[in-house]
Amino acid sequence: MDKSQKAWQYLKTYQSQTTPLLTEFFDQKLNEAKQFGQVPYLACQHYAKLMMYGKKLRGSFVKLGYQLGGGQAEDKILDASLFIELFHTAVLIHDDIMDQDNLRRGQKSMHACLTDYGCQCRHPDPNLFGIANAINIGDTGFYLSWQKLLSARFNRDLVLEAAQVYTDYIIRLTYGQILDVSNITKWQTDDDEILKIFRYKTAEYTGCLPLVIGYILSGEKNPAKRQALFDYGLAFGWIFQIQDDILGIFANQQKLGKPLGSDLIQAKNTILVWHVINKAQPAYKKHLQSLIGRPNINQNDIEKARQIFKDSGALDYAQKLAKKYFDRGLKLIPKIATSPEEKELLESFLHLVMTRQQ
Residue 298: the pLDDT is 82
Residues 125 and 127: their CA atoms lie apart, in Å, by 6
The per-residue pLDDT for range 132-161, each reduced to its tens digit, is 999 999 999 999 999 999 999 999 999 999
- Kindly give, in sequence order, each residue whose CB lies less than 8 Å from that of residue 97, ignoring residues fewer than 6 positions away: 111, 131, 134, 135, 138
Mean predicted lDDT score pLDDT of the chain: 91
Q: In the chain, what are the helix, strand and coil shares in percent, each to the nearest 5? A: 80, 0, 20
Identify which of 39, 59, 33, 135 has the alpha carbon closest to the alpha carbon of residue 91. 135
The more confidently predicted of residues 69 and 254 is 69
Amino acid at 2: D
Residue 253: the pLDDT is 62
Identify which of 111, 105, 104, 61 has the alpha carbon closest to the alpha carbon of residue 83. 61
The per-residue pLDDT for range 319-328, each reduced to its tens digit, is 999 999 999 9
Identify which of 85, 86, 67, 68 has the alpha carbon closest to the alpha carbon of residue 77. 67
Q: Is the CATH number of domain 5-354 1.10.357.10?
A: no
Among 95-109, 221-235, 315-329, which is the least confidently predicted range? 95-109
- Kindly give, in sequence order, each residue whose CB lies less than 8 Å from that of residue 7, ignoring residues fewer than 6 positions away: 345, 348, 349, 351, 352
Instruction: Give 131's pLDDT tier (boundaries 50, 70, 90).
Output: very high
Determine the average pLDDT of the residues in 26-47. 96
- Kindly give, in sequence order, each residue whose CB lies less than 8 Å from that of residue 226, ignoring residues fewer than 6 positions away: 212, 215
Residues 251 and 248: their CA atoms lie apart, in Å, by 6
Taking the CA atoms of 120, 123, 126 and 130 in sequence, report the sign of the dihedral they define: negative
Instruction: Give 101's pLDDT tier (boundaries 50, 70, 90).
Output: confident
Residue 40: the pLDDT is 96
Residue 314: the pLDDT is 93
Residue 185: the pLDDT is 47
- CA-angle at 314, arms to 292 and 197, nearest 5°: 70
Tell if the pTM clears 0.85, that is, is over it: yes
Determine the average pLDDT of the residues in 38-54. 94
Among 115-124, 171-180, 252-261, 316-325, which is the least confidently predicted range? 252-261
The per-residue pLDDT for range 169-196, each reduced to its tens digit, is 999 999 988 888 876 545 555 667 778 8
Residue 183: the pLDDT is 64
